[in-house]
Amino acid sequence: MASMTMPRRRPGRPRRDETRDTREVVLAAATALFAGRGFDAVTLREVAAAAGVDVATVAHHTGTKAELYDACFARVFAAERHALEAAAGRARAALDAGPTAALTALHGLVDVFVDFLEDRPETTALWLRRWLEPQRHAELDQRYAAPLYRLVAELLDAAAATGALVEPTPYVTVRSLVWAVHGHVVALAAGDGSRARQRREFRAFVHRLLDGLYGAPGA
């Protein structure tokens, strides 16, 4: 009887047992590696191994390592923008209802951001690795951080214009809140104490911070 041999998989093609979109698999693997070790310490070969494909497949779907790195930020940015735009829209709709409704909506917006980063800690790790070298890959900030900063800063400007709150430095406030949330996510990753308690207490802290800045709801 003639022996049967399986056809060899051609370079650049995904394995037959993949069930998810190949590009998404590659980006998820690359994001985890870049978040854990930074840009220089990761090779395309390691990304391919983590994704269960060959190097040609990685190159086919994402290009060079620099293009892959950019694509990882684009991926987390798209997910974060989707979450925040909906919450910001709800907050903007609440502005005409007065200070109490506006501040309650801001609570909700911050909660969405905290939830997002708690559920995706690799986002924090990816950005922190980038920020270890502030002048390198700085264009990523302009493409994938600044638009979300502006989204919330413009919301605070709009709230100030309606008289719902007073905010003289919206960009500073947004940046400070972002860093506070990233710090919280790092503390969760350290695993020191009850995660449920830390999550609960951090949300209470952020709400108190907003109330201190803009006046507690119902006050």
Q: Where are the domains of the chain?
A: 73-214
d(CA 146, CA 153): 10
The torsion region of residue 6 among left (phi > 0), alpha (psi -120 to 50) and beta comes to beta
Across the chain, which has 219 residues, the per-10-residue mean pLDDT values are 43 46 96 96 97 95 96 96 94 90 94 96 96 93 96 95 92 96 94 88 96 75
Residue 170 confidence (pLDDT) = 95
Residue 216 confidence (pLDDT) = 65
**Residues 6+ positions from 135 with CB-CB distance below 8 Å:** none
User: pTM here?
Assistant: 0.85
CA-based R_g, the chain, Å = 22
Residue 206 confidence (pLDDT) = 97
In b/e form, how buried is each residue of 91-108, taking b as 16+ CB within 10 angstroms?
A: bbebbeeebebbbbbbbe
d(CA 166, CA 197): 32
Residue 20 confidence (pLDDT) = 62
Residue 192 confidence (pLDDT) = 73
Specify the CATH number for 73-214; select among 1.25.40, 1.10.260, 1.10.357, 1.10.10. 1.10.357
Please name the helix (run of DSSP H) or strand (run of DSSP E) that holds residue 126, with its range, or none.
Answer: helix 121-131
d(CA 116, CA 76): 10
